[in-house]
Structure 1
Amino acid sequence: MPSRYQQLTREQLAVLVPELLLTGHLIDRAGMAFCIAELGRESMTEIAIEEWAGASPIYTRRMQRALSFEGDDVVTIFKGLQLDIGAPPQFMDFRYTLEDRYHGGFHLDHCGALLDVEPMGEDYVRSMCHAIEDPTFDATAVATNPKARMRPVHRPPRVPSDRHPHCAWTVTIDDDSPAVEPIPALAVNARTRAATLELDPIDPADEGYGDYAGDLVSDVDFAAFSRSALVRLADEVCLQMHLLDLSFLLAVRDRADSPTAGRIALSQLVGHAGITAERLHRALGLGDGPEDAARLLELHPLANPAAYVDLERDGATVRVRRSPAHDDGAWISLCGPGSTRALQAVVRAVDPHLDVEVAGTESDWTATVVRTDAAAPEAGEVAITRFSGGAAFRFEPRRSLPLFVS
């Protein structure tokens, strides 16, 4: 199934990919407030750990294979982090250092996640920067080498309160260390259609870089990649989001009854769908009519990759059919004639006067974007997600410099 992102130019794709990495990070911001409200802070912390540990090893290996940088060393770990929704460029501003193949480190010049959480108080900072990061950093490294360990040099709560950099970590691979054991949810997530989905390979003859097999760089220059590579990157980042969401749902369902889990799942999707649509609409310079909003739906992560979500657009109407995403219970399964709120959040990011008319069955339906006389208020879930600095974050130009052993 050809990627829907093939309709974009190389220049548009170079803008799109970092946007997708950033909005993937906002899945947590969209969902965790509702976990706290329904289940409490301690359960939220447990859910976050299982969410990332049950997804990141799968999608990290996928990205390594896609861009041909598989290995067992620190460089491979760092390259994976640069293309991970858990560490979106600049918003989570990782600065890397290399000592040798098995020793390195990083610090964060800017941690958008910390700045989101600090106003909530020290307990929440400790939950994120201690309870969640310790196991999830190691789980991410497992994708490259199960004997890798990430350990803090310093981390928040910040003392003094304006301490910079926000945190610093060492990364060590030691053959004498016991292997990190994956959590049980990882095996469950590994059996999903998202985990095993085959995507079109990168065309090595396309102009630009077709892989990341060369030197580690300080900042990934997405414009240097070929159009084919950027299409594959965009599809892989969307799969990262689906895998993270599926892992999130596994953790929530272990702690909540079905109605509560359903409320949390839909609230997370609505909040994420609206903010992501707003950012993509601005980044791609789309218009503000019904057909533009339908095109935004076509390009939105909830509808991609095309091999995962069966959706086609005709003017201002999109048609959805049953697909692997429905088999997994992914985002698209929360949309349809009886559940329009996520679709409304997307089109109203274009213009609050827009709405959707949806008809069909639960997994086979059409949605037509229409203009109404009255402007709809912003959905509460979108307003909650907007609390994150990532909602309004702006990328800046960076020079991409090679990093070598110090």
Structure 2
Amino acid sequence: MSVQDRSNVRTPDGCNRVVITGTGAISPAGVGVEALWQAVMEARCCIGPLTRFPSDSFDVKIAGEIPAYDPLALGLTKKEAHRLARFVQYAFIASDEAWAQAGIAIENEDATRIGCVFGSGIGGLEAFEQGSVTLNTKGPKRVIPLFIPTVISNMAAGNLSIRFGLKGECTNIVTACATGTHCIGAAYRSIKHGYLDAALAGGTEESVTPVSLAGFSNLGALTKPADPHAASVPFDKRRSGFVAGEGAGAVVLESLDHARARGAHIIAEIVGFGSTGDAYHMTAPEPDGEGLVRAMRLALEEGGFGPEDIGHLNAHGTSTPANDKAEAQALIGLCGKGCEVPVVSIKGSTGHMLGGAGAVEAIVCARSVVEGVVPATTGFSEPDPACPVRVLREPLRDYSQKVALSNSLGFGGHNASLAIAPYCG
């Protein structure tokens, strides 16, 4: 099957084609994919003053919080709102939207063939902080019995599988800020190679907590400006660090055969996935992006594409000096000097959702290729000679694309890249 001929349900090597049939999100833009999409297309900054806790003693005064978050109003029960950590709650809300859009009736399926691959980079930070305070002020007997299953990061996947009755593979890929992309990539591979027929996949994070902001700030990773519009500015010469964001992104993936058999509406197709390691540094990316180049090339080649076919790059683009420079160098390393591939980072709108970022960005990437647009990068205004790539100030419209890449990088040298294409039946 060539790039042009995608009429079969299998790839040339006999593997399953994998399609997206549902998407869901909760982000600083609000609840739902539509709220996210509108904010990104309008280049609207959804970052604001910290309200979750007093910030007088903190250098950082802003964050990408979920606006007016009320779990009960969003469909969670009182028990769920009380017992589940925020990162699991966010995963529920995003997944409810994705699952409803996909329209899978689990009672009509072999539940052992439907999996859940859903991760969090850190897990239940808020409950961990509260438990630590209780331990040190009231003693070990007062720590809640459900402390451990509240905070551990696999509980998003575990509780989602219970919620939807998914009895196939249930895993939690943790690769820091690349978690969401790696979870989608792992689910893609399980379906492609026939271990699953479908899967719920994504990432979630509750990173706006005191210890999180203190740790990232003391590391020098967070930006200090109090003006939200001057804070998260990916690839811009003024960039000085990322803004902590929170939220979740969820996708429902299916083999094309399975989706067609049940008459599903197909949103887009995942045609490749690349995953590599830098073997370089605990927190810094490899300066010339060699590992990311390999990840992007692997994703493209798996789908039968080359660098010349890339419609746009949905970049990791955290707004940190080292990350953006390395990612720009990686794109040039893939496509050559004078690269004109349009680049967008949505973190100017949302901040950095850590383990949830890659999943939310994959959703935006998929919608971009389907609608033939490329969003602008919110906050970008001063090009940096160290990042000589085509970052957009205005959205591209009526822009047909064969394939796009969605990148994520994580502490530890984790690189992940998804190749996403419009579905051609």
Normalised by the length of structure 1, the TM-score is 0.28
